[in-house]
Structure 1
Amino acid sequence: MVLTLDFSIFHEFSLGFYPGIFAVLLVGFFVGYLASFLGIGGGFVYTPFFHSFFHLSAVQAVAVSLAQMPLSALSGLIVYFKNDKVRWREGLLLLVTSIPSAQYIAWKFGRFEDTELGRTIYYGMPVSELVYLFVFTVFLGILGIYNLLSAFRKRKQWYLQKDLPPEEKTAKRSYNPDLIFSLRPILVVLATGVAFGLFSSILGIGGGFLAVPLFVYYFKMEPVEAVATSFLGIFITSFGTSVLFYLEGKLHLDLALVGTIGGFFGARVGSLKAVQTRPYTILMVLGSSQLIVVSWYILGKLLRL
């Protein structure tokens, strides 16, 4: 595949060329807003969108999804940095394993699509697409349920305590910056970094679905701090992986460019909103969004939409 910027891919959109550009800009803004609000890459919307409406292969959809993340992530990261929400030690440690993991999986996944096994048709789809569909739905479905249940629990705690006098409020465990210097937390972050890179490359979701729960539940960060720290990993990991997909000839730069324009402005708005939101809201939106996208994607595939 020759990578050009002739924008001919937008003719593949069912409503035509200009509606296709407008749709990608609009989805880009929405994804940028949602991604910066939740600390995720946004690929959980972008990847099935490009896969379904522009008829890209699973690998190409993942590549485009990842390629629009760096600038959007940087846009949100600047806002979080100015508000002192980034926890640099945890974020940089995550990158130690997420970067090589993402590069390796992107290389293997990109090549698998072109193998005889990857092109073999089962149930009307290539094996490479079936693998993607299975991993996407199972992984995101489990995380969606978990995050939604956690959000309702945090919401209940917040309403129970918000009207109590200070002396009667239950002391909560707060973020401990020295925790990262212990062996076990280091190993946990490094292991999560491997999974972060893996799912970032194979699903195009940026890895924030793993990083945000880790930072919230294990390191006891506030959700907005977890989101900001996750964005650091998303920015660097998605940039490196996008370059690899580009070299493999899997990336439609024209789609990524238009999506990035919308995502840049959406990320600015979303990150400003996130620093003011209630603690449980981020997890509630995250879990709901995951389940909605999984349901839509499964139905779309079953009905061949």
Structure 2
Amino acid sequence: MDIVILIILGLVAGTFGSLVGLGGGVIVVPALLFLSTYTTLLPHVSPQIAVGTSLVVIIFTSLSSTLAYIKHKTVDIKSGLFVFAGSGPGAIVGAWINSWLHVDNFSVYLGIFIIVTSLLLFFNDRMKPMKQNNKRFTIQKTFASPEGQTLVYGFHPISLIAVAFVVGLFSGLFGIGGGSLLVPALILLFFFPPHVAVATSMFSIFLSAIVSSATHISLGHVSWFLALSLAPGAWVGGKLGAWINTRLASRTIVMVLRVILILIGAQLLYEGIF
């Protein structure tokens, strides 16, 4: 029964993670902590094990969705490699910091981060991108949107790598894909079209998850039983989320995710404080 629940959890996390470019860790980590603390379905899972296991699962989700997005030509591989140049080292630093976190404080840290993530998603639709000045971009790109518009976006490599380092640090620290910060940053700071931002985010998450999960594996922070049980659902969910993203408006699903993140964050804060 526990394996069935883990497969379903992987499916849900993979679908939402792929749909909006989050990776799925924001669902897997708190779910594992909850199931191990308040039910008898799982043995005790420490925060470090939850994070390390989540990052291994994110590899399956992000690879599955990236392959699907590549077929639709929405992955900007060159930009994704620049993102990885920052997120890779950041993920290593985050994984190292994670090993020093006190267990009692982890729920508070993670709860605050998840609530901030939900607020970023909530205000993302209402925030206007900064006035575009393409001349400040060293690298410029164009994208033909599904509506037939030719959209221009770009970035300066140093600024993109710096933003990506911060994203990678949070990824390794909290076991999340980092897309909750990366996708809004790509849209608001570098004018990436949303479809490209989500797809490129999943590609860079795949690369950084390999680095950060390898670090957690070396530290003994991975439960292979949990990872292999979550992986099949995560793989299918990654493809399902990409399919929904390319065919349907995701506004309603994202709104549901915002509410779920706020509830999860509030629960973790309550546990950590009381």
Q: TM-score, normalised by structure 2?
A: 0.82
Residues 13 and 27 in structure 2, CA contact (< 8 A), matched pair in contact too: yes
RMSD: 2.3
Matched, 1:23 2:5: yes
Q: Which amino acid aligns with 2:180?
A: F
Q: What is the deviation of 1:51?
A: 1.7
**Aligned partners of 1:288 and 1:174: how far apart in 2?**
33
Q: Please name the residue that 1:129 is paired with.
A: 103
**What is the count of residue pairs matched by the alignment?**
247
**Aligned partners of 1:143 and 1:104: how far apart in 2?**
20
Cα deviation, 1:176-222, whole Å, max 9, x if unaligned, reads 24x22xxxx33331122111111111111111111110112122223
Q: 1:66 aligns with which of 39, 55, 58?
A: 55
**Aligned partners of 1:151 and 1:293: how far apart in 2?**
22
Q: Which amino acid aligns with 2:103?
A: E
Distance 1:244 1:78, change over 3 A: same
**Aligned partners of 1:286 and 1:188: how far apart in 2?**
29
**Aligned partners of 2:151 and 2:266: how far apart in 1?**
35
Distance 1:279 1:267, change over 3 A: closer
Distance 1:132 1:187, change over 3 A: farther
Q: 1:141 aligns with which of 115, 118, 125?
A: 115
Q: Please name the residue that 1:207 is paired with.
A: 178
Cα deviation, 1:21-73, whole Å, max 9, x if unaligned, reads 11111101101111110111211111111122223111111001111111221
Q: Please name the residue that 1:105 is paired with.
A: 94
Matched, 1:278 2:254: no
Distance 1:301 1:108, change over 3 A: closer
- Bigger radius of gyration among the two: 1
Cα deviation, 1:135-178, whole Å, max 9, x if unaligned, reads 22222212312321333679xxxxxxxxxxxxxxxxxx97424x
Residues 41 and 66 in structure 1, CA contact (< 8 A), matched pair in contact too: no
Residues 150 and 283 in structure 1, CA contact (< 8 A), matched pair in contact too: no
Matched, 1:295 2:266: yes
Residues 51 and 221 in structure 2, CA contact (< 8 A), matched pair in contact too: no
Q: What is the deviation of 1:249?
A: 1.3
Q: Which amino acid aligns with 1:26?
A: I
**Aligned partners of 2:218 and 2:54: how far apart in 1?**
16
Residues 79 and 200 in structure 2, CA contact (< 8 A), matched pair in contact too: yes
**Aligned partners of 2:51 and 2:61: how far apart in 1?**
16
Residues 102 and 241 in structure 1, CA contact (< 8 A), matched pair in contact too: yes
Distance 1:131 1:97, change over 3 A: farther
Cα deviation, 1:236-292, whole Å, max 9, x if unaligned, reads 111121122111111111100110111111111111001123375575355334223
Q: Please name the residue that 1:13 is paired with.
A: none
Q: Please name the residue that 2:17 is paired with.
A: 35
Q: Please name the residue that 2:215 is paired with.
A: 244
Residues 59 and 206 in structure 2, CA contact (< 8 A), matched pair in contact too: yes
SS across alignment from 1:146: helix
**Aligned partners of 2:157 and 2:254: how far apart in 1?**
24
- 5+ residue gaps in structure 1? 1-18, 114-127, 155-172
212-221 or 293-302: bigger deviation: 293-302
**Aligned partners of 1:86 and 1:95: how far apart in 2?**
14
Matched, 1:94 2:70: no
SS across alignment from 1:149: helix
SS across alignment from 2:247: coil
**Aligned partners of 1:279 and 1:72: how far apart in 2?**
18
**Aligned partners of 1:302 and 1:22: how far apart in 2?**
32
